[in-house]
A and B are shown apart, each in its own frame.
Chain A
Amino acid sequence: MSDSTNIVFPDSDLDWSPDVDTGYPDRLAQLDTPEAFAGLGAREFPDHLFVDPSDWKDVARENDEYKTWPEDYRNRFTNQAPTHECTCHALAQNVEIAWNRQRAGKGSPVWFSPLSVYSEANTRQWGGSTMQRTVGILIDRGILPEHRGPGGTTDQKDKFEHTLHCTSGNDSAAGGPWVSLNRFPSGWQKTAKHFRALEVINPRSYEQVISLLLHGIAVSVGRSGHAIPYVQVVWREGTLHAKYADSYNVHRYDSVRMIKSGVGGAYGISTTTIPDDWEKPAG
């Protein structure tokens, strides 16, 4: 069994900031405020989810034992390079995890297309988007599945009436051209509406971020110019870090300082729509 309270990783994976624009510049980060999240229907952190810091390691060990970290419900990595889609890749990971957590495992996974949200969040392709804008779209009209799925590159194209490629980036298995919203497949809203967030939590403190993770809820944050999804709490040499699934096909780690810097624009997805039949998620 893995032990989250005693892990090893190189310093090069700590507090990583890209040296290129990935889509979360300061001018957008400033717009991600608790007031903006409240305006789109995100709720404040519910008190019953708070985990006292003195219990964090014990709860972490329980998550190790029962495999109930957000990471345990995560489907796959995505690769956004070289686009500005980071907020939407962080979003897609988060909603996939929420979907699987409700399903009590990865028995009915759906791989979602970050591009299907980004194309509306930023209609000009380059420049990025805010966290609240992207999760607001998820609440409002939902996200499309991507062509690719667990069964291969056209797996979900065969399963759903409307799909889109994962990214407008270079990822050979999942990349494709930029697609503006008015070029989405006709009737795409019929499929997207089945994949909406029902409850989004906007944590207002570092302790609330950690508590959500300890409850198996992924937390997407924008910090230091880049948006990422936290999927686990770990300790290295006794010091707490948040592990994330970066949209460059790798895990990396944030220090407490970095976690705190992203609190304003952070969110967890507590619940999503659930289909009439898990085998036919879009009807």
Chain B
Amino acid sequence: MQRDFRPLVLVVLLVLFTLRSGGGGIISPHSGKVTQATYIYEKDESVPPRDVQAALRDLNANGILAAAIDDDVVNGDGDVPEQYKIALAAAAGKIPCLVVQAGDKVLKVIEDPTAADVEGVAG
């Protein structure tokens, strides 16, 4: 007798779709979707290029949290700002760089990024 696996396949696909949509904990709800892009530089050595600054501003306009920060930045208490802890850790030894994140997950670190690299973040 041949068994019909079609219902089982359907159930598996449904479960995977649900997880992908944010309904479960195995796949992050932010996986793949860029939420933050941070250009990190050392102010004693360089400044963000003008075209990169413009590209970062465009990311902000598109709902991606973009900023250009010095690697020694602190908050009002003298600590590393919470929102940049992950980016600054990922940037160590790669400055200047662009750290692209999806939530708390670092998607990529682009060393010495160009404006085109920044524009590419928006997809």
Contact = CB atoms under 8 A, between A and B. Distances in A.
B76 A283 contact: yes
Contacts of B4: none
B76 A273 contact: yes
Contact of A216 (B53, B61, B72, B81): B53
A107 B73 contact: no
A215 B75 contact: no
A102 B69 contact: yes
A274 interface: yes
Contacts of A274: 67, 69, 73-75, 81, 84
Interface residues of B, number: 31
Interface residues of A, number: 34
B59 interface: yes
B2 interface: no
Interface in A99-118: 101-105, 107
A180 interface: no
A270 interface: yes
A104 B50 contact: no
Nearest to A43: B44
B76 A68 contact: no
A198 interface: yes
Interface string A63-91: 10111100000000000000000000000
Nearest to A273: B76
A49 B53 CA distance: 16
A104 B84 CA distance: 15
Looking at B45, B73, B84, the one whose CB has the most chain A CB atoms below 10 A away is B73
A28 B13 CA distance: 75
A107 B60 contact: yes
Contact of B57 (A105, A270, A278): A105
A283 B82 CA distance: 11
A183 interface: no
Interface string A200-217: 000000000000000110
Looking at A46, A276, A283, the one whose CB has the most chain B CB atoms below 10 A away is A276
B76 to A, nearest CB: 3
B54 interface: yes
Contact of B83 (A102, A193, A278): A278
A105 B82 contact: no
Contact of B66 (A104, A194, A270): A104
Interface in B46-79: 46-47, 50-51, 53-54, 56-57, 59-61, 65-70, 72-77
Contacts of A103: 60, 67
Contact of A276 (B45, B65, B69, B81): B81
A196 interface: yes
B43 interface: yes
A198 B79 CA distance: 13
B74 A48 contact: no
Contacts of A68: 50, 53-54
B54 A67 contact: yes
A277 B82 contact: yes
A178 to B, nearest CB: 27
Interface string B77-111: 10001111000000000000000000000000000
A271 B54 contact: no
Contacts of B66: 104-105
Contacts of B54: 65-68
15 contacts: A48-B46, A48-B47, A65-B50, A68-B50, A104-B39, A104-B57, A105-B56, A142-B76, A198-B72, A198-B74, A216-B47, A271-B43, A273-B74, A276-B81, A276-B82
Given A104-B53, A194-B76, 5 more contacts: A105-B56, A193-B77, A198-B70, A271-B73, A276-B75
The 3 closest A-B pairs by CB, nearest first: A194-B76, A104-B56, A276-B82
